[in-house]
Amino acid sequence: MTETTQNRTPDSRPTGGLSAQYQPGEVEQRRYETWVTEGYFTADPASDKPAFSIVIPPPNVTGSLHVGHALDHTIQDTLSRLKRMQGFEVLWLPGMDHAGIATQNVVERQLAAQQLSRHDLGREDFVRKVWDWKAESGGAILGQMRRLGDSVDWSRERFTMDEGLSRAVQTIFKRLYDDELIYRANRIINWCPRCLTALSDIEVEHTDDEGELVSIRYGEGDNSIVVATTRAETMLGDTAVAVHPDDERYKHLVGTEIELPLTGRRIPIVADEHVDPSFGTGAVKVTPAHDPNDFEIGQRHDLPSITMMDERAVVTVHGPFEGLDRYEARPAIVAALREEGRIVAEKRPYVHSVGHCSRCKTTVEPRLSLQWFVNTGPLAKKAGDAVRDGRVTIEPAELSKRYFAWVDNMHDWCISRQLWWGHRIPVWYGPDGETVCVGPDEEPPAGYTQDEDVLDTWFSSALWPFSTMGWPEQTAELAKFYPTSVLVTGYDILFFWVARMMMFGLYAMDDVQPFNVVNLHGMVRDGHGKKMSKSFGNVVDPLDWIDRYGADATRFTLARGANPGSDVPISEEWCQGSRNFCNKLWNATRFAMMNGATVEGELPPVDELSAIDKWILSRLQHVIGEVDEQFKAYEYAKVCDTLYHFAWDDVCDWYLELSKPVLASGNAEASKRVLGHVLDQLLRLLHPVIPFVTEELWIALTGGETLVKAQWPAAEKELIDDSAEEELAALQKVVTEVRRFRSDQGLKPSQRVSAALTGLGNVGIDTHEPLIRSLARLDKPGPEFTATATLAVSGAITVDLDTRGTIDVAAERARLEKDRAAAEKEAAQCRGKLGNESFIGKAPEQVVAKIKDRLATAEADLARIAAALEALPTA
């Protein structure tokens, strides 16, 4: 770096243009714009480098960056930046999902504010309005991704409703249809009376809600039978009562008919093995048009299906309840039954699992409906086989059980939605009932009408790994980057998305899997392990943290909690700590540059280096090896922890302090070069996780172009020096013990104490005595020296200290006794919780681990306090 490119501080020492303090807001946008403008993130399919590719789990076009996105993107960006530095041609492909239900809801709410509905506009004008909304207001998350530092290839940004992706949807629908893997049928589906559309099983969120369990007597006298239900209104659609064929209580009734109350209809009593005779009365009402299990019973016994509610959950059965909403009809029917003496028992509140639309939270209504389905059987089998035979690896491996539990028991997938926004089903109907599936290069027959429904949003998302690269065309991107290397996503959408991509990828791409590794992470929780919820008031807005602490601090906090498959606890306090870590790096690098740290020239020969320089180089090689192994195992938390402690403890707290006397001398060229090398390598190691501060520091230190393209460090075994590490460990032990004693005795850091050091030669550190005295603030003994306290350090080293006049013994003893009482109380509380089996069984792993850490800290404090009390002078 030339003199003209460096700023000068008042004392004329170079800082490489670094300000006195790190200001993330002054660095992040500037650096990110440079990265994008220079094309550092643009993938080249013609490159001869090995390929590494990730497709981003496409966020909803309606979405904004929440803390789950921030975790997911931090991990993906970390991997992408790592692989670029390791010499791979990296494609991290961005994009968004059209989010059929959510987006339509947004635009419909805007229309409602104008007292309009989509039907007032008509289909074409409504869809046009949604596109206008997308252009004006959709995709805010893309700008937020830039703020987080996502190193995606923006030139390949995709949207699930783009022309190319729409062509892919039509192509695979046609192929599946022709292979009889897509069909249309009347089935029980999940129906949202608010969104007026079918939902797949995984678009339904189940919660424990309070309701009412009503037991109703059907029939009279010995021929009566009691059934229980939480949905009394559905009795209007009952077409049978079912009992178990081996239930002796009801054998005399099987095959007879019974009158359905309030209707005058007679319905049969059937025997079906689905019924659990030990549950309730052992008899169940059968409503084939409004319950999936009842539908199956109805199919087996050829029962009629009576639809008793319309698409808005309003009763349609002729009679006194016609026109009532389901929640109005329920109490009205119970009251009518009670009046007739039909209510045998009522239990309220009755807590039971209730399904809700994942988009609008309306209670879902099972409903018989004519819909389109994917026959998932053969597709799901292949998706399971790909993991079983090792073509696809799930990390962590224990989550494979969840995957198999889903794909091995998958129901056919309802893919039609009664919406206007989405990929319209490419099926056309003729005037005489003809049905034609039309491919992307075909025209429908004249006079035919297209199906009104659109496809489930997850249908197009299932094609994402290959449709975004140009499929069904055989593109250079597909040839280079498919199958993708890693899919990073939360375990919560293992079923929503991962399994479906597996099914469609293997089907469309000739049994080639869509990704080689599925890296699953957990949900972000607060620092106490509690689920984030607005009602709890513990939701974190990552953009707020970025504003206050910087993108790097936010990323480091998330990554440092990311253990494979486990939920990720975070807190603002931890983010503040991550900001302090970034500041520590900044100050350390600035100090090093002011003291001549350099990357110019080769490292000096090892035999010309001091033990201190040999030690830090040896530690660096260990850290490089550890980080490489941790990245291979997707252990992001361990990567962060390893680098944090190396940077903060080894480099800043020890190496810089140990080097200060050398740097201040006139013979420090070797140490300056070692210091420059260590910082250069450390910044490279940290760059994938905290890219902004490391980029700014590295360019200032090295004068290089960018860390994005810098080479990843490689461990050099010849620099590992066990003897230097042992020597410095002994030195650190002495200094640490003295500092701990000083702290325990309440001595100010600047207060010097006379001390005699013996036994340093026993561990080969006698030459470091001046350095030990400097770091521990110890003066040499004078003629009036009297040892009032003695520290025994491992390795037969003894430190005798003269503490006369420096300690108020009585006050210090009282302080330590108070600390001991507090530590004993903390230890007792922790032992109590850890000994509580109920607590251990229910608490998240992170919370239990934190309590174990608290106990270990308390026990260490007790040992330390006991030693300090023993070391106090007696007079």
Q: How far apart are CA 237 and CA 240, in angstroms?
A: 9
Longest dimension (CA), the chain: 116
SS (H, E, C) 166-227: HHHHHHHHHHHHHCCCEEEEEEEEEEECCCCEEECHHHEEEEEEEEEEEEEEECCHHHCEEE
Contact 571, 525 (CB under 8 A): no
Kindly tell me if the per-residue pLDDT of 9 is higher than 50: no
DSSP letters of 750-785? T--EEEEEE-GGGGT-GGGHHHHHHHHTEEPP-TT-
For residue 164, what pLDDT is reported?
Answer: 95
Which pLDDT tens digit goes with each residue over 702-748? Answer: 999 999 999 999 999 999 999 999 999 999 999 999 998 888 888 88
Residue 9 DSSP label: -
Determine the straight-line distance between the first and last CA of the chain, rounded to whole angstroms. Answer: 61
Which pLDDT tens digit goes with each residue over 828-866? Answer: 999 998 999 888 887 888 788 888 988 998 898 888 788
Q: How far apart are CA 793 and CA 56, in angstroms?
A: 54
Which architecture does CATH list for 197-365? Alpha-Beta Complex (3.90)
Q: How far apart are CA 807 and CA 108, in angstroms?
A: 75
Which pLDDT tens digit goes with each residue over 50-79? Answer: 999 999 999 999 989 899 999 999 999 999
pLDDT bin (cut points 50, 70, 90) of residue 374 is very high
φ, ψ for residue 370, nearest 5 deg: -85, 115
On the 0-12 / 13-18 / 19+ scale of CB atoms within 10 A, 661 is middle
Query: Is 530 a known ligand-binding residue?
Result: no
Map out the domains of the chain as residue ranges. 60-153, 197-365, 541-720, 731-871
Residues 6+ apart with CB under 8 A from 629: none
Residue 833 tokens, joined? 């919780």
Q: Which CATH superfamily is domain 541-720 in?
A: Isoleucyl-tRNA Synthetase; Domain 1 (1.10.730.10)
Q: How far apart are CA 275 and CA 285, in angstroms?
A: 10
For residue 3, what pLDDT is reported?
Answer: 32
Q: b/e string for 141-174 if b means 16 or more Cβ within 10 A?
A: bbebbbbbbbbbbbebbbbbbbebbbbbbbbbbb
Which pLDDT tens digit goes with each residue over 234-291? Answer: 999 999 999 999 999 999 999 999 999 999 899 999 999 999 998 889 999 999 999 9
pTM (two decimals) = 0.85
Helix H or strand E encompassing 25: helix 24-37
Residues 6+ apart with CB under 8 A from 155: 42
On the 0-12 / 13-18 / 19+ scale of CB atoms within 10 A, 688 is buried
Q: How far apart are CA 259 and CA 223, in angstroms?
A: 10
Q: What is the Cα gyration radius of the chain?
A: 35
Q: How far apart are CA 299 and CA 240, in angstroms?
A: 12
Which pLDDT tens digit goes with each residue over 468-487? Answer: 999 999 999 999 999 999 99
Q: How far apart are CA 577 and CA 693, in angstroms?
A: 15
Residue 498 DSSP label: I
Q: Which of 109, 160, 62, 123 is nearest to 418 (CA)?
A: 123
User: What is the distance, to the nearest Å, from the Cα of residue 847 to the centroid of all Cα atoms in its chain?
Assistant: 18
